[in-house]
Chain A
Amino acid sequence: MNNAPRKSSLQQQIDENLKRVYEETLKEEVPDRFVQLLEQLKAKEREK
């Protein structure tokens, strides 16, 4: 019947937890290989 506000609070909970799942992986350190890859791409371009 009046489950609209309940649903939105459920939605809120879900989104809060989603943000957490996402942030957990966001906190991980970015592997060096990507920084190196960007350097390589940049160097290759300079040679042109």
Chain B
Amino acid sequence: MNSATGASDPREEILIHLPALRAFAISLTRNPSQADDLVQDTIVKAWSNIDKFAVGTDLRAWLFTILRNTFFSDRRKKKREVADPDGLHAQTLFDKPHHDGRLAFADFTRAFYELSDEHREVLILVGANGYSCEEAAEMMGVAVGTVKSRTSRARNRLAQLLGMEPGEDVLAGDSGATLAVLSRSGTQAA
């Protein structure tokens, strides 16, 4: 009885996006088991609402939208966290790492997870996935200007947590060394 036969059903492609969905979910929840629950809810919602997906548009962006909406509405329901879009709360919890020009990846990861949910979200969408501010704005349901300012505040907060004040000369002094370490660690990951 199913008329939607064949490869044109976008639901067949959900599988391909699961690793990305899961990575985004982990970035938001900071907890693998919560992340998996979030991915599960996203799959079920996407499956039953597939008629709302505009065929030919970015399926991953659509799935990301469902995932982040689910995450933030769950958070509102549970009220389990203090609203803190600028990560001020997080900053006080952070133990500033040594700064000797060698930025360890572990420090970066730790600093990233200390950011507020809103900051992690925008950095994963714009910084890591390379979505434009316009695309991210659509996914997040906010104005483009909000995405731009939030991205910039999130990057600054991250730099601050890592002991690199954006306005300071810290980086200029040993930027060569820092950059070298960063790009070397980048290639190691591959």
Contact = CB atoms under 8 A, between A and B. Distances in A.
A3 B167 contact: yes
B186 A16 contact: yes
Contacts of A28: 19, 22-23
Interface stretch (B60-68, B124-132, B137-145): B124-132
B166 A21 contact: no
A20 B23 contact: no
Q: Is the interface of A mostly helix, strand, loop or mixed?
A: helix
Interface in B4-52: 11, 14-15, 18-20, 22-23, 26-27, 36, 39-40, 43-44, 47
A45 to B, nearest CB: 6
6 contacts: A11-B155, A13-B179, A18-B124, A21-B109, A22-B23, A37-B40
Contacts of A20: 105, 108, 185-186, 189
Q: Is the interface of B mostly helix, strand, loop or mixed?
A: helix
Nearest to B183: A16
B23 A34 contact: no
A9 B36 CA distance: 35
Given A21-B108, A37-B40, A41-B44, A30 B19 contact: yes
Given A20-B185, A35-B15, A14 B2 contact: no
Interface stretch (B75-83, B91-99, B170-178): B170-178
